[in-house]
């Protein structure tokens, strides 16, 4: 056992429970203040959520695979769950699970807090940005500048299986508070003739009004691809045939993987980036994010080239008909988050902060 592990001030169990995977990790915490502590990922296990009956079986799996000596040292637990939190309970959006923080606390014999999965990402970003800045990629503005954040509000937008939106505020004592939202389900706002036609197309495929997640997510990529297939003329290609032959859930990753060679896939991903930029610009203005915008989620992390090339993302992010708003957006630093474990650091932070009797935003609202 390394000195850093042996000398850890405390160890917490951090978890991220999603529709695909459930990850449980042991995180070492050095320091008594959450705002100044250093967090270290010591051990983790990744389980397939669909193969589990519930969080109890996940905890049992963690007991069988995580370091037993470290596991005995945990003094708190925090789980990020993909669903709304109320009274320390969560009914997951993409799993037939209910998680009760009180029941988990009784099982582990340590205080347990539940937070929204996107809150976990928000809490984790300042920790990783401080400890591992190399895990972030700055997107330069159209003039080549990469401004430093000058304020206390950060916006986080993350497109992956779904679309997450949240913001983070820094308090006078250096602690941060994550504010969850359902911004990913806000209305989609077309911004040119193509996106107006796109909205009409997607609306025809869904009952009701399509939200932003219908365009900015893995399933959203499939929607954009279908729209371009039906509304523009493309030469037949082997990539297109392979994609259309696969189940719909597998297509987004294939579309992104073929974007460098196949014109239809390239056009799909370029349209996706433009929509991502306009939506992120609006979110930045909603929260007046003078501290910066962070793009989380696997799509941006795996396709950074598409965001950076020809200032594709930034040209649309900066657009506004008012010159003073364009100047404001030019001052906002924008980064892509490259570390998928960010939510585990955020869960560990929330566990420590809870012990300091500073409730998370979910608890304040419940």
At 3 the pLDDT is 54
Tokens of 98: 């209910």
At 366 the pLDDT is 35
At 365 the pLDDT is 37
| List of domains in the chain | 3-124+341-365 (3.30.420.40), 133-338 (3.40.367.20)
User: What pTM does this model have?
Assistant: 0.91
Tokens of 117: 């999965």
CA 196/CA 145 separation, integer angstroms: 32
CA gyration radius, the chain:
21
At 364 the pLDDT is 43
Tokens of 287: 């929260």
Nearest to 213 by CA among 204, 57, 222: 222
Residues 141, 139, 159, 25, CA torsion sign: negative
Beta bridge partners of 159: 163
C-beta separation of 99 from 92 below 8 A: yes
Tokens of 264: 């239809």
Mean pLDDT by 10 residues, the chain (366 residues): 63 92 95 86 94 95 94 95 91 89 96 94 95 96 92 94 92 90 92 97 89 96 96 91 94 96 97 98 96 95 95 96 96 95 96 72 47
Tokens of 5: 């592990």
What are phi and psi for residue 101, nearest 5 degrees? -60, -35
């Amino acid at each position: 056992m390394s000195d850093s592990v042996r000398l850890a001030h405390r160890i917490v169990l951090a978890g991220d429970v999603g529709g695909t995977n459930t990850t449980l990790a042991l995180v070492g915490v050095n320091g008594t203040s959450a705002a100044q502590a250093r967090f270290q990922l010591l051990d983790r296990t990744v389980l397939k959520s669909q193969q589990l009956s519930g969080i109890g079986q996940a905890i049992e799996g963690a007991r069988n695979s995580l370091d037993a000596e470290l596991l005995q040292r945990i003094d708190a637990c925090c789980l990020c769950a993909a669903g709304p939190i109320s009274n320390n309970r969560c009914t997951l959006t993409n799993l037939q699970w209910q998680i009760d923080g009180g029941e988990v606390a009784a099982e582990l014999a340590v205080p347990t807090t539940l937070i929204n999965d996107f809150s976990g990402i928000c809490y984790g970003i300042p920790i990783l940005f401080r400890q591992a800045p190399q895990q972030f990629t700055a997107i330069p503005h159209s003039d080549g500048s990469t401004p430093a954040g000058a304020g206390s509000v950060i916006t986080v937008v993350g497109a992956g299986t779904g679309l997450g939106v949240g913001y983070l505020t820094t308090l006078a004592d250096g602690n941060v508070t994550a504010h969850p939202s359902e911004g990913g389900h806000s209305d989609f706002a077309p911004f040119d003739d193509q996106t107006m036609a796109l909205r009409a197309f997607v609306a025809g495929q869904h009952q009701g009004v399509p939200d932003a997640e219908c365009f900015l997510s893995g399933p959203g990529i499939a929607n954009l691809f279908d729209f371009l297939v039906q509304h523009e003329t493309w030469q037949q290609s082997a990539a297109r045939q392979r994609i259309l032959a696969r189940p719909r859930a597998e297509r987004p990753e294939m579309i992104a993987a073929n974007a460098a060679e196949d014109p239809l896939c390239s056009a799909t991903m370029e349209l996706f980036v433009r929509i991502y930029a306009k939506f992120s610009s609006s979110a930045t203005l909603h929260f007046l994010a003078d501290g910066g915008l962070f793009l989380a989620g696997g799509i941006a992390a795996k396709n950074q080239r598409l965001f950076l090339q020809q200032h594709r993302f930034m040209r649309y992010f900066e657009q506004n008909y008012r010159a003073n708003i364009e100047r404001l957006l030019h001052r906002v630093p924008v980064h892509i988050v490259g570390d998928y474990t960010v939510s585990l650091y955020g869960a560990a932070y929330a566990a420590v902060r809870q012990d300091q009797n500073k409730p998370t935003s979910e608890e304040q609202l419940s």
